[in-house]
Amino acid sequence: MAKECNRDQTIGQITSGIDRNTLAFKTINFVRAQLPIWRDDPDRPDEQSEKRLNLQLCKFLETCARNDFPMVRFDHEEYQTGRRSVDLAASLVETTVIGARQHTIYDPILVIECKRLPAPSHDREKEYVTGGKENKSGGIQRFKLGHHGGDLDIAVMIGYVQERSAREWQHDINKWISDHNVFLASYRSVHSRTGHKPGNEIKIHHLWIAMNTGQRHLHPWKT
């Protein structure tokens, strides 16, 4: 039996010549629509590990995309700068003109970093935002420095909410971000890059999915 996916008709079809950011937004909408369906899939093994959840999600998105979003392919652990890799990436299934540039199957159009809420240990408490000056492992931090998504204008962070409520995490993470002088906007955070592309901005869309049984809903981050 075919896997049940969210067939959101508003996603529509994508044709050659579309703007890259428009395609990124359509991909974000696709991911947003599938998240609660993936979480509630009766065939999905119950996992807590971030790496295992990432792999599960990638497999689900790729399966759904083949019928409902066929221009895009989802990959697990896409390499970025140096030895770093981002958790998930969306790329094209064939060479396509986006804007005025030809994009191949090797060019991600969107990258996705995923984090558990809470982090697995106290010393990594703020890892959704920052890993500190020495250990640059923070989700937002890596995008801000250009270590992830350095050639993109838009990215996604997914939060697996495993304890507490999304509203409580929103309060804590907004405070951590405020401590690091980052401007917030509705449904996204906007960051001036400080790495190899200083002055450019990266817009991160935050999607939080409640994995704890008491709050099984999708929570786009609002401020």
The pLDDT value recorded for residue 184 is 41
Structure tokens at 2: 């075919």
The pLDDT value recorded for residue 130 is 76
The pLDDT value recorded for residue 43 is 96
- The full DSSP string for 63-109 is HHHHHHSTTEEEEEEEE-STT-EEEEEEEESS-EEETTEEE-TTS-S
Q: Contact, 43 vs 132, CB < 8 A?
A: no
Burial of 18 (0-12, 13-18, 19+ CB in 10 A): middle
The pLDDT value recorded for residue 154 is 92
Round to whole Å and give the CA distance between 12 and 90. 17
pLDDT at 181 over 70: no
Round to whole Å and give the CA distance between 108 and 126. 27
Number of neighbours of residue 76 by Cβ within 10 angstroms: 18
- The full DSSP string for 14-67 is --TT--HHHHHHHHHHHHHHHHHHHHT-TTS-----HHHHHHHHHHHHHHHHHH
Share of the chain above pLDDT 90, in %: 39
Residue-wise pLDDT for 26-61, tens only, equals 999 999 999 999 999 999 999 999 999 999 999 999
Residue-wise pLDDT for 66-101, tens only, equals 999 999 999 999 888 778 888 999 999 999 888 778
pLDDT at 135 over 90: no
Q: Looking at per-residue confidence, does 19 or 27 come out higher?
A: 27
pLDDT at 216 over 70: no
Q: Are strands 85-92 and 72-79 parallel, antiparallel or unpaired?
A: antiparallel
Mean pLDDT (whole number) for 115-133: 84
The pLDDT value recorded for residue 105 is 94
Mean pLDDT is lowest, of 47-61, 70-84, 148-162, 195-209, for: 195-209
pLDDT at 186 over 50: no
